[in-house]
Amino acid sequence: MSEEPPPTKEQIWRERLYAAFAISLLLIFAACSGLITVVELPLRLLLGWIWHLVQAVPALLPLWPKLLLPLACLTVSTWLIHRFIRWLITTQGHTLDWRARHTVSATALALLGSAAAIALSGVVHQAVWLADAPWFTNHGRLIERTEAANNIRQLHLAILDFQDQHKRYPDSLAELDLKRAPQLLHQSPVRGEPPEPILYLKPREAPASSNPDDDIAILVSPIVGSGRDWIVVGFTSGATRFLLSDQLPEVLETRRMPSSKKP
């Protein structure tokens, strides 16, 4: 049975080129499809220490005079430990030939263990932070409007709770007890952009009556969604409406549902 000849250098380089091309296509696909976190997580776990050194070392170099005292303390403590170990071996009557390189090696192992523990805590922190990020990014036109409507409904419930306790509307959203969900006060116009505050329009009267004509706007989201400019308006009844941004002046002027306009 004949053995296959070993691959030539040209074949090895061709295989490496194909592998690099396949990995490049995978990264491009991940970036375009919103799966970049799937690729970023293992890369940060494996190569994060290199990125940390690149960022930390240039900032540390100008501060080298401040490192002299810790290094001096480390040198003196290492020497004292070495002398103590030598004295202990002599008093115990052992014949072990303990040299300076042994003490230096033990000190280096202790320092490396401390550095590994610190690095491991950083890895765990980074892994938890990355795991909390969305693995799939939805860039649909309705996702931001849906999130804004949900935030406004939650704020309306918080306003109702405030009414039950104080028999009045809050003067601002800052009066609401939102310590567990402070993110409700803001809404990102598009996923990934900085959040903007939700507008609160305090009603002039106490809680509105059940008459639909008394249903007025009290919450207005920032412009959200891609494509056309949309806002989400919340009313005293708890209803929410998707409106075009050019209808906002009518909402602010009348505080009522604006005239219907086909999107």
**pLDDT on residue 78:** 92
Ordered by start, the domain boundaries in the chain are: 9-132, 143-254
Whole-angstrom Cα Rg for the chain: 32
Asked if 66 and 72 touch (Cβ cutoff 8 Å), the reply is no
pLDDT, one tens digit per residue, over 153-174 is: 888 888 888 888 888 888 888 8
Which SS3 state, helix, strand or coil, does residue 177 take?
coil
Residues of the chain with pLDDT under 70: 1-4, 27-41, 43-45, 126-142, 180, 191-192, 205-214, 225-228, 254-263
Q: Treating both helix axes as pointing N-terminal to C-terminal, what angle do 100-132 and 36-60 enclose, rounded to 10 degrees? A: 140
Q: What is the dihedral of CA 181, 185, 190, 192, to 10 degrees?
A: -50
Note the pLDDT tens digit of each residue in 99-152: 888 899 999 999 888 888 887 887 777 666 656 555 444 445 567 778 888 888
